[in-house]
Chain A
């Protein structure tokens, strides 16, 4: 079915799981219609559409500031035209798996800030939980509305060489990237509308409305008509575009810390007609920075007195304070245990095998096998603070050995995964590039998983790091209906 001259003829799916090909020249059935489109596409046409997409991102200012780049340059996230397609049955399992996971993690968070039953069970070392950097004693015994801590979750999924999905990490604090899910779809529709006629694709545009419903659902009971705002750190933040995008789509105010103040146990915003009460804050500011009276004193991004108001239940925060403990990479290793403990179920989507350096025998294993493992700092994200053993220099491996011995609680290790690959455009030809998948889960009265997600792609040949800060790009992600 693939002709010699087609751009697909030379494509080599290699030994990795390829999302589109089951063998060289053999396209998986649900990609067949897309393959036909790709075959008729000339290199010039790819370039033209690619340029149109890039221009559209640039014009709309869908950009991110690269961390620690002093020039504050705005870059667009590279966008790959070839969409990723997920079958309904694959998606159904992902949806059930994420719902199970999020439900269990919220029960876990409630427990460790209240009765602490799991800490008495002997299933998870208490010092691992209570000593986690993300554990906030300040919110002990605070009862968040509906018992929900993580209103927005973005968990990273990967597939191994057999096509099995795994959860690589959970993002339970302030996960970003969902604006790209919506914008990638919009841009692809604009620059390559033809391919949309071949597939029944589930829409992703409803996300902001779903998020708004969740935020209204978790308003404090004292508020009859809730005022919801989005708290952004400001234009210097790498996700500023997303904050503006969501605030606009939800029709709510986007505020900065200096726009808010606390008076008489109430949060107000400064408006042109005077003060106005705020009931729900969708905050895109980390715990550490949210209240200089309670956490980092040097933070200008937060609101003095916010924690006290929150503790009194007079303002809701999404996500709640103190969720970072549950996406600590050492706690991650215990998520299957957590699911079993609270729900009495086995996990639907498995974890990646994880060695926790805090455990003496596992630490020994890590130190002996560091050349085969990926070592991660438990609190870092964005592709920072990690060592990919097989690709690392001897000096780097020694450096990480030293660090692990100095601070075992700070590190975990996982086997190097053979992440699945997906055909992506590279200099006029299709080449396999590693991908992951970040679906977004909303939790208010019920749990909703947006049908789609952010497929991040490591555009450098051979690279396993998909983070946008490390040269990663993105694809539109289709869940078929």
Chain B
């Protein structure tokens, strides 16, 4: 398949997954605010890189701030713009899902309504994005384009969970005092909920919520699809499939496959006690760096035949020129 198409598929998937993660954060932020009032700034302050913001500010920043490249609105817009350029390579259902979602957000007044009822709004958007992911699995052949979508989805997921854990490391660090307050419990649950993992955690452990088990679950669980280990495994499977095609065509598979295999192995063979002993933040930082490296290496090998950064502007200008001469 074309490098450009693979590139756009990969990023469409990343933006969709990012949108889902952000919408969960909005959800959790709003619930936290209702549960423990204004004392939650230590929870969502790190999320937005600023302290002293009201829950409303945070919700705006995450939901509809166009200047925030990771806001829900920005993610949907990016994903739809990319999907439009490769609409011939995805199923009509997938394209229509993103297109109608984008259009409903672009309607006049949609933003105001979204702020007014951010809970149901983010839920609606998340469901549509999850629907898109479901459609990808059920309407595309599970060959190369689908592998690039999977790669994007799972790398983004692993990256998102790792970042969330890093930001909340202060909450999750082992503490001297044995007493846990109700507020602690609410915050820990919020971390799980931010990753859509509260129910699965309860079923898996059937024990009280404790920081070390939260980290273990989100980082090392082998079978839960929101865990870092699961996501890295799935990303590695996708990249291996793509690399096999490239090897079959007598071309080098590139270094990304080794980097990803290494970090996958590291997470698969980690024990939670050792992770905490060696330092959680250090461990998370290492994984995060590896994920970024994989993304760069995959881009260099598979998605860019050669870098052409200034081309886009020229293409837009020439298309405008040509439009004047079109036969329509």
Contacts and interface: CB of A to CB of B under 8 A. Distances in A.
Given A271-B1, A273-B246, A382-B328, A237 B85 contact: no
A177 interface: yes
A258 interface: yes
Contacts of B95: 60-61
Given A59-B99, A60-B92, A273-B251, A381 B326 contact: yes
Contact of B320 (A58, A60, A236, A288): A236
Interface stretch (B25-33, B109-117, B308-316): B308-316
Interface string A464-476: 0001110000000
Interface stretch (A34-42, A46-54, A249-257): A249-257
A264 B210 CA distance: 65
A247 B90 CA distance: 12
Nearest to A70: B320
A354 B314 CA distance: 39
A225 to B, nearest CB: 16
Contacts of B170: none
Contacts of A243: 88
A455 interface: no
A68 B100 contact: no
Interface in A145-181: 154, 171, 173-177
A419 B251 CA distance: 61
B33 to A, nearest CB: 35
B258 interface: no
Contact of B87 (A61, A233, A236, A237): A61
Tell me whether chain B's interface is mostly helix, strand or loop, or mixed. helix
A127 interface: no
A59 B87 contact: no
B328 A234 contact: no
A272 B242 contact: yes
Of the four ranges (under 10, 10 to 19, 20 to 34, 35 or more), the interface on chain B belongs to: 35 or more
Contact of A258 (B4, B6, B326): B4
A274 B251 contact: yes
Interface residues of A, number: 56
Interface of A: 58-61, 64-65, 67-68, 154, 171, 173-177, 233-239, 243-245, 247-248, 253-259, 269-274, 285-286, 288-289, 298-301, 379-382, 384, 467-469
6 smallest CB-CB distances across A and B, nearest first, come from A300-B314, A236-B319, A273-B249, A270-B305, A248-B88, A244-B88
20 contacts: A60-B92, A61-B84, A234-B316, A238-B323, A253-B1, A253-B2, A256-B315, A258-B308, A258-B315, A259-B2, A259-B3, A272-B242, A274-B249, A289-B318, A298-B321, A301-B322, A382-B327, A467-B328, A468-B328, A469-B328
Interface of B: 1-6, 84-85, 87-89, 92, 95-96, 99-100, 103, 144, 148, 242, 245-246, 248-251, 302-303, 305, 308, 311, 314-328
